[in-house]
Amino acid sequence: MRTTIDQLYPDIWQQVFEYFNALELCFSLMHITKQADDVLFNINHRFCSRGLVLDTHVRILPEQLLLHRVISLELHQNNQLDNIQQCLELRSLKLIGHSEWIISILRKISQVNSSLEQLTLVVPGIGLLYNLFASIAPLLSLRRLEIYGDQLEERIINGTSFLKQTKIEYFILHSCSPMSWNDLSSMLPASTATDYEEQISATVATICADEILVSPLRLLWPNEFDELKHTIDTIAQQYLKQASKSVQHLIPLSSLGDGNCLFNSVVSLVPDSGVSAVELRVRTIIELVKNRTYYDNQFSHLVGPFNEAIRRTCNNYSFSELYEVVALDNALRCEVQSVYPYIDYRVEMKIMNAVYTPLDTSVSNNGRLIIFWTNSEDEVTTKCRPGSGGVWSPNHFVPLIRPCETPESPRKTTIKNNKVASIRSPEFSPPPNARKHRTSFSLIEESLSNLETNDARRKRQERSITNEQQREERLTADRLRKPNARENQSEDQRQLRLATDRLSKRIAKENESEDQKQKRLAANRLSKSTARENESENELRLRLSNQQKRSARKKLCRSA
């Protein structure tokens, strides 16, 4: 069949072109020679085949199919294409079949083809990826790799370290990366094995060899409570009332209590991050094994033997202890504040109320995670502890977060604005000779003093009739206003303010009674104790260093 105009009804085409006043174009097209048909039929092989699909229904390949001109191919298993080595110009390839068949095809292609840039693999079950990756590694021209599995039975061993030897820019591994963390039983040895420590060390070394798999997590902690994402734990709220006053304003979030509650606390705090509790457990195990000497020396005499702790931690859904809490800050590269309620509290439990920082100080800090030790049963209000012999013990972890501070519509509900106050109109008595009279500065100062005294008296009266909520609102507004005022004051104003504060405190101490003095000293001791319980290790070292310096100065003064 010919397609030139001179053989396809020329009289009709002439009328069409004449209608559009394009007869000259018609005569030009009618004189197109045989080369036009040669181009259309690809006789000179100038065109390449794209989007060629050879599925399982293709039994016989056309004789005219030029494999060396195919640049895009989709190939299914059990087809009749045995000479794929002829696809020399192949740029994009999609293989659908079992891993063994895919590996054999890739080996054939790697022997002759050096132009393949995109590879897509669809397999019913990926299984072990090591052999599959080994067959892909020789394809040095590859830029994009996609692997899809129809079933969730994937498992990564030795990982994807081959990627560093290629030029791959895009790598998609569908449903495989999460499974490499969640399939905990396949990665960790049985806790009853005799050579358990050697096995877990070898397994951790294998996982750490894959830099892509164990790349650092960078979770973005929310600043405040979000009712669309978070749920409040009402039982933990009761226990939080028994904790330090510095954290009682925070909100405890619900976390799944399946034994992984420490790691579920992170998941409930950032539910959109895609991180799983099992991944966090495995990362914590890796941290414990890598720095076992540090954890053993720091906590074994307080928490218990480290070997037993690591054996317990490797069992999924097992309850966590302080080892895991401290190791989690290194796994997440953030500070972790441990908060323990003052219930059956003992001195040695001070380490439960502390801030732990990552060991590697060279990495950037990723904020602070606050973990609260609580119980899934309400034993605070009931005072019933049948399962622990009357002694309270935690069995649950929840995260703490700041409450939402979304500002409401600007309005004031203070007594000052709602109260109907009488306005006093001052009456002036002019002197006999008003023209010659000059107001002295002493009279102005006296008037201002009277106004200030009356204003202070009015404020005291208003405060005496305010309720507790209005008082808290006033104090909160004062606390917000004072920092802003202090930021804008000069150095002279700052020194004057500090001197006034010192004088005011000294006068108040001199005029206080014995009961007021004892209450003040007790409040100071409680404040210092609370601050020391919540201080970090760096703050502790700084405080002890300052104490030593003060002691040394006192000794020098006494000797002098």
Answer with the residue of higher pLDDT: 107 or 364: 107
* Beta-carbon-side half-sphere exposure of residue 355 (alpha carbons within 13 Å): 18
Three-state secondary structure readout of 211-274:
CCCCCCCCCCCCCCCCCCCCCECHHHHHHHCCCCCCCCCCEEECCCCCCCHHHHHHHHHCCCCC
Strand order in the sheet with 335-339: 251-252, 396-401, 368-374, 335-339, 354-356
Residues in CB range of 558: below 8 A, 6 or more apart: none
Sign of CA dihedral 73, 75, 158, 312: positive
Domain boundaries, given as residue ranges, for the chain: 5-40, 52-182, 215-401
Confidence of residue 191 (pLDDT cuts 50, 70, 90): low
The three-point CA angle 255-258-259 to 5° equals 100
Are both 52-182 and 215-401 of the same fold?
A: no
Query: By mean pLDDT, which of 107-111, 179-183, 288-292, 297-301 is the weakest?
Result: 179-183
Cα separation values, 473 from 462, 467, 469, Å: 14, 10, 6
What is the average pLDDT across 161-178?
53
Strands 354-356 and 335-339 come out as antiparallel
Nearest to 296 by CA among 283, 307, 281, 311: 307
**DSSP single-letter state for residue 155:** B
Cα separation values, 220 from 6, 69, 108, 225, 366, Å: 71, 50, 46, 14, 8
What is the average pLDDT across 533-548?
85
Mean residue pLDDT across the chain: 75
pLDDT at 179: 36
Cα separation values, 479 from 1, 476, 484, 555, Å: 91, 5, 9, 40
| DSSP track, 125-145 | ---B-HHHHHHHTT-TT--EE
Confidence of residue 216 (pLDDT cuts 50, 70, 90): confident
**Is the pLDDT score of 133 beyond 60?**
yes
Number of Cβ within a 10 Å radius of residue 335: 17
CATH label, 52-182, candidates 3.30.70, 2.60.120, 3.80.10, 3.20.20? 3.80.10
Confidence of residue 157 (pLDDT cuts 50, 70, 90): very low
Cα separation values, 91 from 74, 105, 163, 167, 200, Å: 11, 15, 19, 15, 43
Confidence of residue 176 (pLDDT cuts 50, 70, 90): very low
**DSSP single-letter state for residue 440:** -
**DSSP single-letter state for residue 421:** P
What is the average pLDDT across 241-266?
93
Please answer whether residues 255 and 268 qualify as being in contact, where contact means their C-beta atoms are separated by less than 8 angstroms.
yes
Nearest to 106 by CA among 63, 162, 159: 162
**Is the pLDDT score of 336 beyond 60?**
yes
Dist. CA 470–CA 480, nearest whole Å: 15
CATH label, 215-401, candidates 3.30.300.30, 2.40.50.140, 3.90.70.80, 1.10.10.1100? 3.90.70.80
Answer with the residue of higher pLDDT: 380 or 110: 110
Query: By mean pLDDT, which of 272-286, 389-403, 461-475 is the weakest?
Result: 461-475
**Is the pLDDT score of 295 beyond 90?**
yes
Please answer whether residues 402 and 225 qualify as being in contact, where contact means their C-beta atoms are separated by less than 8 angstroms.
yes
- Residues 55-78 have pLDDT tens digits of 777 777 776 677 777 888 888 887
Dist. CA 72–CA 116, nearest whole Å: 10
Dist. CA 370–CA 142, nearest whole Å: 45
pLDDT at 344: 83
pLDDT at 251: 96
- Residues 2-23 have pLDDT tens digits of 455 555 566 677 777 778 887 7
First to last CA, the chain: 119
| DSSP track, 75-103 | EETT-S---GGG-TT--EEEEES-HHHHH
Residues in CB range of 191: below 8 A, 6 or more apart: 311, 312, 314, 315
The three-point CA angle 256-152-118 to 5° equals 125
Dist. CA 15–CA 259, nearest whole Å: 85
pLDDT at 125: 60
Say what the alpha-carbon torsion angle 436, 440, 443, 449 is, to the nearest 10 degrees. Answer: 150
* b/e map 273-293, b = 16+ CB within 10 Å: eebbbbbbbbbbbbbbbbbee
| DSSP track, 303-360 | H--HHHHHHHHTSTTPPP-HHHHHHHHHHHTSEEEEE---SS--GGGGGGSEEE--S-
Strands 72-76 and 52-54 come out as parallel
- Residues 429-462 have pLDDT tens digits of 444 554 444 444 454 455 445 555 555 666 666 6
